[in-house]
Amino acid sequence: MNTADLIWANGELVAWEDAKVHVLTHALHYGTGVFEGIRAYETEQGPAIFRHREHLERLEKSARLYYMDVPYSLDELREATHELIARNGLRSCYIRPLVVRGYGEMGLNPLENPVEVYIAAWEWGAYLGEEGKANGVRAKTSSYRRISPESLIPHSKASGQYLNSVLAKVEATKAGYDEAILLDHKGVVCEGAGENVFVIRDGVITTPGHTSSILDGINRRSVIEIATDLGYTVVERELARAELPLADEVFLTGTAAELTPLREIDDIPIGDGVPGPITREIQGMFDDALHGRTPQYADWLDLVPVPSGT
C-alpha cells in the first residue's frame, strides 16, 4: 500500500512507522472498534473531503451503538484531518479514522478500557479498479449472509463486524469474481462486501432499505439525491435475489469503490453485459460532484485549508 509521513494518534501527529498499539489492545482481540472510510479529491480549490461531516457523524453514531464516547468533538476531528492531509502534502487521499477500545482490562466487558482515536490518510486508487469503474465488475452471491440485527448491529461500521465482509470477499475472490453480494438474514439482497447496491429496471431505480441490514452508505444517500434530481424514481424496498440478474442495470456505491457498475452476477450478464445508460449518467454526475465540478453539490465538499507555500 501507499504510505504517508504522518498519522494522527490521540491528538498528536506521529511518524507513520511509529503509529503503534499494545498487543493487548481490546479491539485486536474482540473487534471493539469502529471506523470510517472517507475520500478527499483534488479540486481546483485544493483537496476537498467528500461529505466529511456525514462521515464523522456516522463514526460517532457507530461508536455510540457500541457504548463508546469519542473523546474528541466532530470539529476537532475535522480539523485534525485537515492538518493531517496538509502536513502529509496529499492532494487526494483515502482517510481512515478509527476509534478503538484500547489496552486496559482483558475480558469481554470493554467499558473500563480507554477509547483511543487514530486517523490515517494515504493515496488510494479505485478499490475495484479503474477498469471496473469503466467497464463493470463481476460479482458472486455469497454463501455468507450479511450480519443480522438479531446478532450484531448492521448500522454500525464496527471493526469486528467486518469479518463477515472479509469472508464474503475471500470467497468471491478465490472463486475468480471481483466482489461478493450478500443476502440478508431474510434471504433478500442486502449489499456488496463494502458497497451498497442499486438495481435499475424499466427506468426505475431500486435499492434495499434500512430494514435489509444495510450500512447507511453516504454514497448511497448521495446517489439517491442525484438520481432524484435527474428525474428518476428511486424506490427503497426489499429486493429478491433474482432481481439482480433480471435487471437492466446494476451498480454499486461506496467510498472505496465510488460508483462501480456490475456487469455480471453469478455468471449471468446483466442487461447487455456492459454498463447501461442510466448508470453512466448517474456515474458522470456523481464523479462531477466528487471532484467539485457541480455547483449544485458544492456543499458536499469540505475544502482542506492548505498553508501557502505548499
Ligand X SMILES: Cc1ncc(COP(=O)(O)O)c(C=O)c1O
Catalytic residues: 157
CA dihedral 228→74→253→34, nearest 10 degrees, is: -140
Reference 252, options 185, 174, 169, 171; nearest CA is 169
Pick out residues in 94-153 that bind ligand X (CB under 6 A): none
Residue 283 within binding range of ligand X, rule CB under 6 A? no
Confirm if 265 and 142 have CB atoms less than 8 A apart: no
Confirm if 226 and 251 have CB atoms less than 8 A apart: no
Least Cβ distance, residue 249 to ligand X (angstroms): 19
Least Cβ distance, residue 272 to ligand X (angstroms): 26
Confirm if 287 and 281 have CB atoms less than 8 A apart: no
Which range, of 62-70, 166-174, 211-219, 282-290, touches ligand X by CB under 6 A? Answer: 211-219
Place of cell 478500557: 113
Least Cβ distance, residue 195 to ligand X (angstroms): 5
Strand, helix or coil at 159?
helix
Q: 205: which 3 cell numbers?
A: 431505480
Residue closer to ligand X by CB (options 121, 215) is 215
Question: Cα–Cα–Cα angle for 293, 52, 300, nearest 5°?
Answer: 30
Among 220, 271, 279, 286, binds ligand X (CB under 6 A): 220
Which range, of 12-20, 135-143, 216-224, 299-307, touches ligand X by CB under 6 A? Answer: 216-224
Residue closer to ligand X by CB (options 218, 301) is 218
- Long-range Cβ contacts of 108-113 (<8 Å, 24+ apart): 108/30, 110/26, 110/30, 110/32, 110/67, 111/67, 113/26, 113/32
**Contact code string over 181-200 relative to ligand X, x by CB under 6 A:** ----------x--xxx----
Pick out residues in 14-53 that bind ligand X (CB under 6 A): 37
Residue nearest to ligand X (CB): 217
Rounded Cα distance, 199 and 242, in Å = 11
Least Cβ distance, residue 165 to ligand X (angstroms): 6
Residue closer to ligand X by CB (options 179, 264) is 179
Residue 218 within binding range of ligand X, rule CB under 6 A? yes
Residue closer to ligand X by CB (options 165, 207) is 165
Q: 103: which 3 cell numbers?
A: 489496552
Rounded Cα distance, 274 and 117, in Å = 42
Rounded Cα distance, 7 and 18, in Å = 9
Among 47, 208, 217, 292, binds ligand X (CB under 6 A): 217
CA 164 to the chain's CA centroid = 15
Which range, of 82-90, 229-237, 249-257, 269-277, touches ligand X by CB under 6 A? Answer: 249-257
Residue closer to ligand X by CB (options 32, 196) is 196
Footprint on this chain of ligand X (rule: CB under 6 A): 37, 165, 191, 194-196, 215, 217-220, 253-255
